[in-house]
Amino acid sequence: MEAEIKISSYNLSEEEEKKEILRQYRSLLKALKPKLKPGDKELLRTAFEMAATAHKTMRRKSGEPYIYHPIAVAMICVNEIGLGVRSTICALMHDTVEDTDINLEDVQREFGAEIAKIVDGLTKISTVMDNNTSQQAENFKKILLTLTDDPRVILIKLADRLHNMRTLDSMKREKQLKISSETVYVYAPLAHRMGLYNIKTEMEDLSMKYMEPDTYRYIAQKLNDTKRERTRYINDFIRPIKDKLEKAGFDFEIHGRPKSIHSIWSKMKKKGVAFEEVYDLFAIRIIVNSPGEKEKEDCWKVYSMITDEYSPSTERLRDWLSNPKSNGYEALHTTVMGPQGRWVEVQVRTKRMNEIAEKGLAAHWKYKEGKDDESRFDQWFHQIREALSNHENNSLDFLHDFKTSFLTEEIYVYTPKGEVRMLPVGATALDFAFSVHSAVGSKCIGAKVNHKLVPISHKLKSGDQIEIITSAKQKPNSEWLNLVVTSRAKSKIKDSLKEEKRTIAEEGKYILQRKLDGMGAPMSQPNLEEIASYYKVHSSLDLLYEIATKKIDLKDLKEFTVHGDKVMMPRHVKIPLDEKHENEVPKALHKKDTELIIFGESSDRIQYSLANCCKPIPGDDVFGFITTGEGLKIHRTNCPNATRLLSNYSHRVVKTKWAKNNEISFLTGLKIIGLDDVGVIHKITNLISGELKFNISAMTIEAKEGVFEGNVKIFVHDKDELDELCNRLIALPGIERVDRYDTE
């Protein structure tokens, strides 16, 4: 279906475009056919006509009529997420309120309050924000507020984002980077949490295609080159298992699938191995058609047949039958030693489990009908509701907390009475204490994990049983914020610290009151803000707190003047740029400056520096980022900080391009690993200094048990030179790996 939706209309006449739009709409109706009830067709027709008329004059960047997009989003909702008629109407209408003359009242009049509420949740925040706020974070917070009432909002939003990613080719490079980084930062993890594994995988792969195009193409080519060999191996692996399952009378499907490009790249980075050394490039999936009461039994029977044939790795068994994930995922995963000494991942699940794995939340609801148990999905929503109601932070803090609390994998731990609790990976004993009760968390001094005494910072693992130890004398301190990952714990600690701050600030209020009385000025909010601004603190509470703790000395107040009821700070004081709030954008950089090509003819007019976190060199894919105090910083697009900067502060990103300049050299580092053979060091230095004439800044070599690891810092002009050097080094006998690293 998706292939049909993607048909290009660059060269279609107006009449042909109308026919194409109608054909896509009919495909959508056909996909919805099993779910249509009386009256649904008319409602869908109304939604389609309203959206088509509203978007009539609009075109996408590719030149296609805009209506192609809402229809494609609706098709993803139906085919890939398993949503129904009402969600399809919302998908068709999702951009109308924001981009056209249609308003929410029109939507409510035609389709009712439920659909209007979802469309409102999907409408971006269009009010003008101040520079301290990330538009993306605000929009995301709004979506989440609606999510807790109706999760369809997030499912349609994911479909919208997926289609945007699929059609990103026609966008400008900086837009591609912004949208890709947002996608991999928030939307892919969210798709994963909603159980939409296929969508999550495609989002990650597409983001990588734009953020790291060379690596993406390299792995895609490698997968393509090894396809025939892989297929042959999968067939050899499957054959004996298939025979066993048929003899046992199972109704089943069995097939192999390649791992995603993004997951292969993650493994290569995490384990420091080349493509050829990633052992599980594919997974075998066995789907059994079992009745409800025999599902677990049948999965374990299949598992025993696999392990009879192939030897399993005991550490790699994942049992999500006994303890399903919070997004409803159930399966058995095992890794076994296959033919030719290669590890192979095998996943065993039933037809019902497979549908939940493919369609996530929508399938989960379908199977839940008629049951009254509170699922882990419901518990998850409940926790998000709580986080949203407690959160006073700005949107960026909220987005960060949401990622660490709700978008990571979870672990299951037990209370002393054996009750299961779900926490994110990385949670500590202190997180567990706050999950029990805020009073228990605030008084926590330690814990017993599996009957052993541990500190509050101890990281928990799945299966741990935890008993919290408290003391009436204990109280939270600011260090605790670094020891917790859950939104609940952070929120409660901040509340407690704020309360303590207020108590101490009362003393500061008394001191300032006396000073202002002496000047003949009242203790008003405008006066507090003027004084806070002078002392460069963020709020009047911080001002009073720092007066009380003697961090601020009020002797400068004699420089202030009083006009009526107002105090005015001395004229000559200027707040230095580098001490302003880190989210502020320098006022001097106007919109037109962001269009400049930084490297090239204009490079002498703009001050920039290369970011220390990723040390870019000419030829690297880069972007400029406006910092406060340090001007323009140039980062690589695959910099560890790139995703966060591009997704949260896209308004401060500047398009940049390298110009060839063979007069300037850049320092970069190479890590070389190989066999410690006689003369190997000489070969390396001879190649670098002798043949290629590069200057070596520093070199260290460590040999251990026949293997050496060398770190070389060298000056190069650009990435092409560096790539040539890497290729020449890897071609030397005995050299196993050559990796670039960022020099200090």
List active site positions. 98-99
What is the rounded CA–CA span in Å between residue 235 and residue 233? 5
Structure tokens that stand for 62 in this block: 């590719």
Q: How far, in Å, are 57, 58, 97, 155, 445 from residue 51 at the CA level?
A: 11, 11, 10, 20, 59
Structure tokens that stand for 508 in this block: 């500061």
Q: Where are the beta strands (DSSP E) in 484-564?
A: 561-563
- Answer whether 285's CB lies under 8 Å from 242's CB: no
**What is the phi-psi region of residue 732: left when phi exceeds 0, alpha when psi lies from -120 to 50, beta otherwise?**
beta
Q: Where are the beta strands (DSSP E) in 566-643?
A: 566-568, 608-610, 622-626, 632-636
> Distance from CA of residue 253 to its chain's centroid?
33
What is the rounded CA–CA span in Å between residue 670 and residue 738? 7
DSSP 713: E
Phi, psi dihedral angles at 514 (to 5 degrees): -65, -45
Find, among 387, 436, 432, the residue nearest to 411 by Cα.
432
What is the rounded CA–CA span in Å between residue 702 and residue 391? 51
Neighbours of 302 (CB within 10 A): 26
Residues sharing a CB contact under 8 Å with residue 128, sequence separation 6 or more, in sequence order? none
- Answer whether 726's CB lies under 8 Å from 692's CB: no
Cα four-point dihedral sign 293, 298, 303, 304:
positive
Put the strands of the sheet holding 608-610 in their side by side order: 608-610, 632-636, 622-626, 653-654
What is the rounded CA–CA span in Å between residue 603 and residue 496? 50
C-alpha angle 383/643/583, rounded to 5°? 80
Question: Strand, helix or coil at 48?
Answer: helix
Name the β-bridge partners of 387: none
What is the rounded CA–CA span in Å between residue 618 and residue 109? 57
What is the rounded CA–CA span in Å between residue 571 and residue 363? 65
